[in-house]
Amino acid sequence: MSHLLDQLNTQQRTAVEHSEGPALILAGAGSGKTRVITYRIAHLIGAKGIPPESILAVTFTNKAADQMKERVAHLLSDSLESWPHISTFHSFCVRVLRRNIEGALPGYTRDFSIYDEDDQARLVKTIVNELGLGEQAASPRSLLARISYAKNRGLAPQDLYRQAADAATEKLATVFERYERKLRQANALDFDDLLLKTVELLYAAKDVCERYNQRFRYVLVDEYQDTSRIQYQLIRQLTLIHQNLCVVGDEDQSIYRWRGAEIENILNFERDYPGARLIRLEQNYRSTQVILDAATAVVSRNRARKGKVLWTDRAGGARVGLYEAQSADEEAFFIAAEIQRTLAADGDATIAVLYRTNSQSRLFEEALRRLTIGYRVVGGFSFYERAEVKDLLSYARLATNLRDSAALLRVINTPARGIGDTTVQSLQASARRANLSLWEALEQDLAAKLLPARSLRVLENFYNLVSELAAARGQMTMSGFFREVLERTNYLETLRAEGTPEAESRIENLQELVNAAAEAEDRGETLAEFLDHAALVSAADDFEERARVTLMSLHSAKGLEFSVVFLAGLVEGLFPHKLSMDDDAALEEERRLCYVGMTRARDRLILTRGASRRSFAREDYETSPPSRFLREVPSELIETLNLAMTGVKPRTTWENAVSSRADIERFLRERRSNAWNPGSASAGAGETTRSTSRWKLGSPVRHPKFGLGTILGCEGEGEDSKLTVSFPGYGKKKFVEKFAALEKI
């Protein structure tokens, strides 16, 4: 085991060898933080003989947890009898709650559901409607954000009432209170509750708290700068007895203030845990000096920081590239072309394109596809967020926890079975009157028979269906159960009947879900565990084989590194985001985010911006000035890449890589033409749209999927025009001419 220590510098070794008592490790970007944590775990087990199961390591993301598990397993090559518990805050809490919630929290059973963001939003919306707050209240979205923020700080509705200074806060408190009540009725917890209720439970049930204290004698927390008050309290309760708490963090990388993270947690650590050992990791092993200097220059504009000196022995390095494009399209093409050259020149390069908002990925995807460069996108829409997947999961949730009203609402008329809005409304009304979950209200209404006969009939069918599914749940395998649901609900059949390509892909997704369930089963997971996993796995966690090119948001990039990083969209309003520009603290967080992005790069960092971009999918472009962060990078560290524009001849290979203006113009031209048409490759030249043709209203056309149709309308000119075509059996469809393989007859 001692050979492990040889691979570490002095500070790292101190951190790894520290075992008893509290420790705070201030780890700058790229200072080998993950290495220290994993080596420390390995060291505790291998050298100190600590039983693995008495170690708890907590992270924020599943990605980080998986990575940590993998690396610990790698270090401890001999198979262990037990394993350290490495998980996210949320999954850890789910485990604790499933085991201890009954009796400890009135009204809850171990089968509680986890409400996702969608469920939460709907819930808030119905509450706003119930209270008749329509126009006068803030949007459900922002109400939910404020509720979540309050929960993350451990505030209850009563606390809000008490400090309510204005009518708006009072309304918020009212909504909040009702929101909580509905969650209880539904035997459901939202994401914040998972933490909150666990903390409540640990405070209330001393014996449970002590048990976990004894079980986990060593606790590690990653990304401590991003912990909220509740997470702080959780950790505090878990370490009351032994105080063997080791936290790792970097205040310059705190980027979750908006979600309730309190930077004070890291700043006050030494006060909260007297005698804490403080260890600073200041040697950066990742980036070149140039990149480090550039990033440091930006973040040092912040007032709220302790300040630290990061150094590297990778002196010099390529200057930070800067490409300033006219438009976001051009920016995307530049990046794609640059990536192509980088990949050709260096077979080992790993490349990331980082951006502020997920919606920005689209342009980059398009540009990369055109150059047939493989990539993967982290974040955005994930598998588990697809409607059909959620539908099927909702059936499973409902069958597991009949009180789960969010799941019930989702599936009560999916697929359509004649239970419409009015019927659902009346059900909701009676649930509200009797203070019941929707399922209980349904039972009650069916017994009372006060509804129109037709409603009673369809509701009874639904009731029987779900009851049978609930009974079947325990009788069969997980995948078998999912298949049963698809069968009994006619879900697949309904999709098949649609016959559209969209329906086909939905069917495939459902198939994939059934397969995932079967795999989980092989691993010994129960349906409940599978549902937990689906609820807690985020889009950013699908960490597949490392692709050469990765697109992701700056937030998801935290903790990762790449040899080449493109930091895109550096324009005011986007980055810093316009919603953060009025508030100093928020602006400083944007700056830290910029720092996080820049320090992901090992060898080469390229900053880009496109002056104009289309907002939403509308026609008009909006123009934004360069991001202030660009000005904050010292100009001597920057190399401008817009050479073609200025007419200067390229000199180095990197400069050579710059696309010529002609390239870019050709790209933009082609983009507007139908050169990129997913269907055209197989369709053959003769069938594709002739862009010169004029479409006459009423004339017949043929579509490869929908068959014969009639043109009903045509907006705009040339290949960009939108056509409305009616197809017998399919209804009216709208096409953009250049993308639709419409054939004139």
Q: Least CB distance from residue 636 to DNA, whole Å?
A: 31
**Which of residues 254, 423, 437, 659 is near DNA by CB under 7 A?**
423
CA 226/CA 265 separation, integer angstroms:
9
519 φ/ψ angles, rounded to the nearest 5 degrees: -65, -40
421: contact with DNA by CB under 7 A: yes
Answer yes or no whether residue 716 interacts with DNA by CB under 7 A. Answer: no
Cβ count within 10 A of residue 102: 14
Residue 508 touches DNA, criterion: CB under 7 A: no
Stretch that binds DNA, among 166-174, 342-350, 551-559, 686-694 (CB under 7 A): 551-559
Whether 222 sits among the annotated catalytic residues: the reply is: yes
- Alpha-carbon dihedral angle through residues 475, 477, 480, 481, given to the nearest 10 degrees: 60
Examine the residue annotation and report whether 33 is marked as an active-site residue of this protein: yes
- Considering just the CA atoms, what is the radius of gyration of the chain in Å? 28
Amino acid symbol at 134: G
> For residue 84, is the peptide bond before it cis, meaning its omega torsion is within 30 degrees of 0?
no
- Interactions with DNA, residue window 254-293 (CB under 7 A): 255, 258-259
Identify which of residues 164 and 712 has a Cβ nearer to DNA in the complex. 712
**Residue 64 and residue 559 in contact, taking contact as beta carbons nearer than 8 Å:** yes
Whose Cβ is closer to DNA: residue 290's or residue 711's? 711
CB-nearer residue toward DNA: 117 or 584: 117
Strand segments (E) across 296-391: 320-327, 351-355, 376-377
Contact in structure between 550 and 375 (CB atoms under 8 Å): yes
Site mask for DNA (CB under 7 A), range 348-387, x = bound: --------xxxx-------------------x-------x
Cβ contact 83:52 at 8 Å: yes
Applying CB under 7 A, does 731 fall inside the site for DNA? yes
Q: Which of 95, 125, 280, 671 binds DNA (CB under 7 A)?
A: 125
Active-site option among 253, 360, 400, 423: 253
Q: Is 732 in the site for DNA (CB under 7 A)?
A: yes
The reply on whether position 430 binds DNA by CB under 7 A is no
Q: What is the DSSP string of 227-266?
A: -BHHHHHHHHHHTTTT--EEEEE-GGG---GGGTB-THHH
CB-nearer residue toward DNA: 228 or 284 = 228
Binds DNA by CB under 7 A, chosen from 67, 88, 113, 689? 88
Q: Is 628 in the site for DNA (CB under 7 A)?
A: no
Q: How far apart are CA 122 and CA 204, in angstroms?
A: 31
* Shortest distance, position 29 Cβ to DNA, whole Å: 18
Nearer to DNA, 356 or 483 (CB): 356
Q: Judged by CB under 7 A, does residue 224 bind DNA?
A: no
Active-site residue, 582 included: no
Q: What are the two backbone dihedrals, phi and then psi, of residue 281, each rounded to the nearest 5 degrees?
A: -105, 110
162 given a catalytic annotation: no
Query: Is 422 near DNA (CB under 7 A)?
Result: yes
Q: Do the Cβ atoms of 544 and 376 come closer than 8 Å?
A: yes
Per-residue DSSP letters for 166-178? SHHHHHHHHHHHH
Please say which residue, 54 or 430, places its beta carbon nearer to DNA: 430
Residue with tokens 């393989």: 741
- The SS3 of residue 335 is helix
By the rule CB under 7 A, 618 interacts with DNA: yes
Query: Which residue in the list 119, 192, 193, 222 is annotated as catalytic?
Result: 222
Give the angle 248-251-252 at the CA atoms, nearest 5°.
Answer: 120
Contact 468, 460 (CB under 8 A): no
Per annotation, catalytic residue among 11, 12, 13, 33: 33
Whether 34 is catalytic is: yes
Q: What residues numbered 647-706 form the site for DNA, per CB under 7 A?
A: none
Q: Torsion over CA of 672, 675, 677 and 679, rounded to 10 degrees? A: 150
Question: Considering the rule CB under 7 A, would residue 586 count as an interface residue with DNA?
Answer: yes
The yes or no reply on residue 579 touching DNA (CB under 7 A) is: yes
To the query of whether residue 223 is one of the catalytic residues in this protein, the response is yes
Contact status, residue 197 vs residue 105, Cβ threshold 8 Å: yes
# chain residues binding DNA, by CB under 7 A: 53
CB–CB of 17/6 below 8 Å?
Answer: no
Q: How far is the CB of 142 from DNA (least distance, A)?
A: 8
Catalytic residue among 14, 17, 34, 243: 34
The correct pick among 98, 370, 577, 733 for binding DNA (CB under 7 A) is 577
Q: Contact at 8 Å (CB) between 472 and 481?
A: yes
Residues that bind DNA (CB under 7 A): 60-63, 88-91, 117, 125, 141, 191-192, 255, 258-259, 356-359, 379, 387, 413, 416-423, 452, 454-455, 458, 536, 538-541, 553, 555-556, 577, 579-580, 586, 616-618, 731-732, 736
Residues with catalytic function: 33-34, 222-223, 253, 600
